[in-house]
């Protein structure tokens, strides 16, 4: 490695000759300088080898870290792909659930409509059956109750002295009509409820006439109370112990009909 610096060993021509060779001190100095240079070169070589070993170790560490980074990047990519697939699956499930919900709502709406139609049909049939039964009952009981009938007097006014049945108690039915609309039936039902009646139910509502069933827990002068409280002008067609038939005056004004 002479090219790395100037040699410290004197050239052979620089030694001064003596009788039997070269001068001893010059040769010893040249050998010492050579040994010193060799030692320096060996230390430099050892340092270079150590540095190369460290570089090799660092290079191995860098390669290992790059390998780990590649592995982590691959796992991250796989995780992202799984996440994307999960999101797509959730969106598909959500769309299917929404479709099922829409179909369920449509089915429920159809079921409600069908149930309403069935109830209305059953109600109409029940009303028709009730009407026929009532007509048959009226036809059978008319002769027996003819003596109990009373004549109407104005707006439901009845001669109490001639009608001992003006006071009712217990289970009775009241037929009234013709009614202009369902709201008049509701208003009349409210008036009946104000008289202390309980268990009020509409047994029939057909062709503008309604039949209400109720229970009076104590004696009530029903005709007088209805005359005072009801907004409808009516006449009494027939009265019995458990039955009352009222005919609404069809000539009353629009204000009373609306009421």
Question: Does residue 238 lie within any of the structural domains?
Answer: yes
Question: Does residue 177 lie within any of the structural domains?
Answer: yes
- What pLDDT, on the 0 to 100 scale, is given for residue 166? 67
pLDDT tens over the chain, length 259 residues: 444 555 554 554 555 555 556 677 877 888 888 889 998 999 999 999 988 888 888 888 999 888 899 899 989 999 999 999 889 988 889 888 888 888 888 888 788 777 767 866 666 676 677 667 777 777 776 655 554 444 444 444 444 333 444 688 888 888 988 887 778 888 888 888 888 888 888 888 878 888 888 888 888 888 888 888 888 888 888 887 788 888 887 765 444 444 4
Are 161 and 247 within one domain?
yes
CA-to-CA separations, 199 to 36, 122, 129, 172, 216, in angstroms, rounded: 130, 22, 22, 11, 9
Q: Which domain holds residue 39?
A: 1-109
Question: Does residue 73 lie within any of the structural domains?
Answer: yes
Domain count, the chain: 2
Are 253 and 171 within one domain?
yes
Question: Does residue 136 lie within any of the structural domains?
Answer: no
Domain boundary among 60, 93, 109: 109
Q: In this structure, what DSSP letter does residue 158 have?
A: -
Question: Does residue 132 lie within any of the structural domains?
Answer: no
Are 99 and 8 within one domain?
yes
Domain boundary among 48, 80, 109: 109
Measured distance CA(16)–CA(32) in Å, rounded = 18
- What pLDDT, on the 0 to 100 scale, is given for residue 11? 54
């Amino acid at each position: 490695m002479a090219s790395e610096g100037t040699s410290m060993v004197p050239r052979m021509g620089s030694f001064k000759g003596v009788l039997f060779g070269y001068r001893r001190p010059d040769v010893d100095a040249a050998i010492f300088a050579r040994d010193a240079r060799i030692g320096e070169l060996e230390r430099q070589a050892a340092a270079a080898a150590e540095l190369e070993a460290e570089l090799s170790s660092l290079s191995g560490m860098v390669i290992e870290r790059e390998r780990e980074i590649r592995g982590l990047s691959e796992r991250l990519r796989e995780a992202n792909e799984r996440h994307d697939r999960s999101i797509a699956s959730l969106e598909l499930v959500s769309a299917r659930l929404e479709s099922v919900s829409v179909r369920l709502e449509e089915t429920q709406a159809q079921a409600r409509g069908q149930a309403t139609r069935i109830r209305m049909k059953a109600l109409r049939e029940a009303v028709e059956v009730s009407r026929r039964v009532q007509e048959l009952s009226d036809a059978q009981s008319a002769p027996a109750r003819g003596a109990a009938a009373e004549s109407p007097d104005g707006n439901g006014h009845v001669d109490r002295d001639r009608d001992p049945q003006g006071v009712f108690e217990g289970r009775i039915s009241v037929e009234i009509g013709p009614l202009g609309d369902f709201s008049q039936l509701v208003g009349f039902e409210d008036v009946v409820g104000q008289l202390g009646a309980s268990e009020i139910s509409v047994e029939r509502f057909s062709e503008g006439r309604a039949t209400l069933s109720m229970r009076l827990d104590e004696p009530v002068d029903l005709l007088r109370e209805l005359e005072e409280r009801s907004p409808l002008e009516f006449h009494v067609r027939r009265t019995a112990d458990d039955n009352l038939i009222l005919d609404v005056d069809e000539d009353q004004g629009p204000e009373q009909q609306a009421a």
